[in-house]
A and B are shown apart, each in its own frame.
Chain A
Amino acid sequence: MLAAVVLLLLTQVTGIDAKVESLKVAPSSQTVISALIDVHDDAAEFHPEQCDVEVLSGPSWLEVASEEAVFEPAAPGIVRVLVPATVNANASGKAELRLRVKIYYCNNFEGWCRADKVDVKVPVEVVAPSAAKIVARPPIWTLIIAAAFLVATFAFFFLPRYVRSLCCVGFVVFGLIGAVQHREHIKAYGIAKQLCVSCIGLERTYVLRGSPRIAAETRDFVASLNNTYEIVVFSAEWCTNCPYAKAVVKKMVEASGGKLTMRIVDVEKDKDEAAKYPIERGGRIALPAVAVRTKDGVEVIFGAQNIEKRLVDLLRRLEGRQR
């Protein structure tokens, strides 16, 4: 009994968990393997430079660029691992990819650091190109709850009076308690404090389908840059166009061969960092925002529309100024 309790406690304290999404890929395309690693310690601080990914086994048609893996904090105690991969033309069927992720994290409050390893199994399925999308959709239970709520809404008309009053007061209590429990009031504050440019239709919604393509001229231009620039992409969890903006900037950074470096700042989690940049418009932070830092200052562009062309124009201007 005691041994069981100790074992349970140990697994809870020392074990780290991984949550992966199954991957749907198209032949001859590029994709990103995403996994959430939970270390069960909210106070943990991650050190991305000491974390790495190792491929244990996988299908021959999938080339995993494990050295290009990106580690970013997703929530307190949770780190998101993004590993780019290339799918060959002869890909077919289903397969399983096994990765070993090493996470190095410290608890500065208690003063210790540790490295943990976790094996991640990613189911990979090859589908026809049109169906291979990376669209973040809410899980199915949301649909069920929403449908139940809507059915309840219409049932309202036919319920006896005292049941209706009880329901209504119940909604208030249930809603406010649930909001505090799920920290939704803070989330709502974030939603109103930042302006998602596409959410209210100031620009089109760009859904990230697979990996975006950038023009050959852009590749040539970023490879021939004389100076180095740091590009900071500001995003938020719920921002619709941010994944697309991030993917385009990432492509340009890859093509530049080290001339450009990229940093992603989550404006909700890293408020201090976001406050250092002039990204506020109309009293709120506009997203997606891409800032280029130079010696003289910071230049910012907003929105995902024509982002590739606008970023190239901006870099061209900065090059001209510094030459």
Chain B
Amino acid sequence: MRLPRIRRIVQFCVLPIAYIGFIVPGIVHFVWPSIHCYACPLSAWICPIGAMQNFVKEGRFPFFVLGTMFGAGVGFGRAVCAWVCPFGLLNDILAGISRFRTRLRVVELLLAVFLALFSLSAALVDLRAGVAIALFSFFALFAIKRFYLFKYLVLVVTVGAAIVCADTIFCKVCAVATFEASLPYAISPSAGIPVEVLGAPFLIHLAVGVLAIVGLLWARRFWCRYICPFGAILGLANRFSVLRLMRDPQKCNPKTCRSACIRACSMGVTSIPRLKSVDSTDCIRCGDCVDACPNRALRLRFSLKR
């Protein structure tokens, strides 16, 4: 069986485990190794980014989240983004539907809108903090100009906003929370929690949801590539993860295949034909390039040797 198909089957098999709260009520909570809202009525797992913000805003160092995140990272690197993340599956499905070509202009515009929404939600809690975050993040966005680094900016701003506003600001602009928590609670009449449908927090959530869908239609894996702060942290562990993407330089010949791996890569990693072991922080070990390579020069394997 080909790798993308195996991956799709794994993704669908993992889905009921991610939403195990539905099947096994009262299961002990663990940190789910991907972004996955803890407020989702069906989920029994802890979102690492949500828990991290909650710890930071209380003045605690997030040891638990750090340990479990890097635990997943050392084992599998960013493979969790491609194989177990429920939102990653939505990313993949929308990438399959999309017929648009990636345009950096559109991406830049969407990222600017995301930052505006982030600053707005911070401003609703603390006006000065909102203005400071807007100034810092917009300056950083137009200064770095390398959009794959944008997720590190989001990570910095997330932690900074949790400290300054003493609130979980990222959760208020998280598209995962829109689809897993905000919309279910707003739609469900039996929830009993009064969601103010015309209030600012719900409208911001809706806007981020629309932004994510538009972004996913325009750029493959838009959320994972540019925004997800969890992917940012996990990307660092890619360089020493046990699961790795290896390239055989003897077999590889980019001239004959016109860099099929780069064209197949949904994360836009361009360094595949140059490295022996693809350790880019953006590589999610999805195996699309392995499947696309006509020379069979690439393979995914577990190895401790560098």
Taking Cβ atoms with an 8 Å cutoff, the residues of A that contact B are 135-139, 142-143, 145-146, 150, 153-154, 156, 161, 164-165, 168-169, 171-179, 181-182, 184-185, 187-189, 191-193, 195, 197-205, 207, 237-238, 240, 281-284, 286, 300, 302-303, 305
Closest to A165 in B: B240
Q: Is B168 at the interface (CB under 8 A from chain A)? A: yes
A191 touches B236 (CB 8 A): no
Q: Which residues of B contact A282 (CB under 8 A)?
A: 41, 184-185, 188, 191
Per-residue 0/1 for B231-261: is the Cβ within 8 Å of any A Cβ (1 yes, 0 no)?
Answer: 0010011011000000000000000000000
B268 at interface by CB-CB < 8 Å: no
Contact A188 B46 (CB under 8 A): yes
**Nearest residue, chain A, Cβ from B193:** A302
A175 to B73 alpha-carbon distance, docked (Å): 13
Q: How far is the CB of A57 from chain B (nearest CB, A)?
A: 32
Q: Which residue of B lies closest to A282 (CB)?
A: B41
Inter-chain contacts of B202 with A (CB < 8 A): 201-202
Is the pair B28, A189 in contact by a Cβ cutoff of 8 Å? yes
Known: A188-B51, A191-B51, A191-B54. A175 touches B68 (CB 8 A): yes
Q: Is B67 touching A171 in the complex (CB atoms < 8 A)?
A: yes
State how many angstroms separate the Cβ of A44 from the closest Cβ of chain B.
24
Q: Is the CB of B57 within 8 A of A176?
A: no
Interface size on B, residues (CB 8 A): 76
Check B67–A176 contact: CB distance below 8 A.
yes
The 5 closest A-B pairs by CB, nearest first: A175-B67, A178-B63, A138-B59, A282-B41, A179-B64
- State which of B56, B73, B181 has its C-beta within 8 Å of the C-beta of A138: B56
**Which among A161, A175, A199, A203 is the interface contact of B70 at CB below 8 angstroms?**
A175
A145 to B56, CA, bound (A): 10
Contact between chains at B64 and A185 (CB < 8 Å) = yes
Other than the given A137-B166, A161-B240, A189-B46, 10 more pairs (CB < 8 A) read A138-B166, A169-B240, A177-B67, A192-B51, A199-B54, A199-B168, A199-B171, A202-B182, A205-B167, A282-B41
| Pick from A177, A181, A203: contact of B196, CB under 8 Å | A203
Q: How far is the CA of A201 from the CA of B55 in the complex (A)?
A: 18
Of listed A150, A154, A188, A305, residue having the most chain B CB within 10 A: A188
Closest chain B residue to A184 by CB distance?
B64
Q: Complex Cα distance A282/B38, Å?
A: 11
- B159: interface (CB < 8 Å): yes
Measured in the bound complex, the distance between the Cα atoms of B163 and A142 in whole Å is 8
Knowing A172-B71, A174-B63, A204-B124 touch, does A136 contact B172 (C-beta < 8 A)?
no
Contact among A177, A192, A240 with B45 in the assembled complex (CB-CB below 8 Å): A192
Q: Does B108 contact A (CB under 8 A)?
A: no
Pairwise interchain contact A200-B177, C-beta atoms closer than 8 A = yes
Separation of A165 and B194 alpha carbons in the complex (Å)? 48
Smallest beta-carbon distance A73→chain B, Å = 18
* Contact A136/B166 with A188-B64, A199-B54 known, Cβ cut-off 8 Å: yes
The answer to whether A281 and B63 touch across the interface, beta carbons within 8 angstroms, is no
A282 → B minimal CB distance (Å): 3
Is residue B126 within 8 Å, beta carbon to beta carbon, of the partner chain? Answer: yes
In the assembled complex, the Cα of A239 lies from the Cα of B199 at a distance in Å of: 20
B61: interface (CB < 8 Å)? yes
17 A-B residue pairs with Cβ-Cβ distance under 8 Å, sorted by A, are A135-B126, A138-B56, A142-B60, A150-B159, A171-B70, A175-B71, A179-B67, A184-B55, A188-B65, A191-B51, A199-B54, A200-B37, A200-B172, A201-B204, A205-B124, A281-B191, A281-B192
List, in ascending order, chain A residues with CB within 8 A of B233's CB: 153
- A197→B200 CA distance, assembly (Å): 14
- Chain B, residue nearest A141 (CB): B59
Residues in B whose Cβ lies below 8 Å from that of A135: 126, 166
CB-based contact A172/B196 at 8 Å: no
Q: Tell me the bound Cα distance from A181 to B58 in angstroms.
A: 17
Q: Is B29's CB within 8 Å of the partner chain A?
A: yes
How distant is the Cα of A204 from the Cα of B156 in the complex, in angstroms?
23
Known contacts A168-B240, A204-B201, A303-B194; A184 and B63 CB within 8 A of each other: yes
Between B121, B126, B164, B193, the greatest number of chain A beta carbons within 10 A of the residue's beta carbon is seen for: B193
Name the residue among A136, A143, A171, A240 with the largest chain B CB count within 10 angstroms: A171
Contact assessment for A168 and B237 in the assembled complex, using a CB-CB cutoff below 8 Å: yes
Task: Give, as a whole number of angstroms, the nearest-CB distance from A200 to chain B.
Answer: 5
CA distance A202 to B31 in the complex (A): 22
- A203–B42 Cα gap in the complex (Å)? 20
B contact residues around A181 at 8 Å (CB): 63
Shortest beta-carbon distance from A150 to chain B in Å: 6
| CB <8 Å contact, A176 and B194 | no
Give complex CA distance A91, B67 in Å: 50
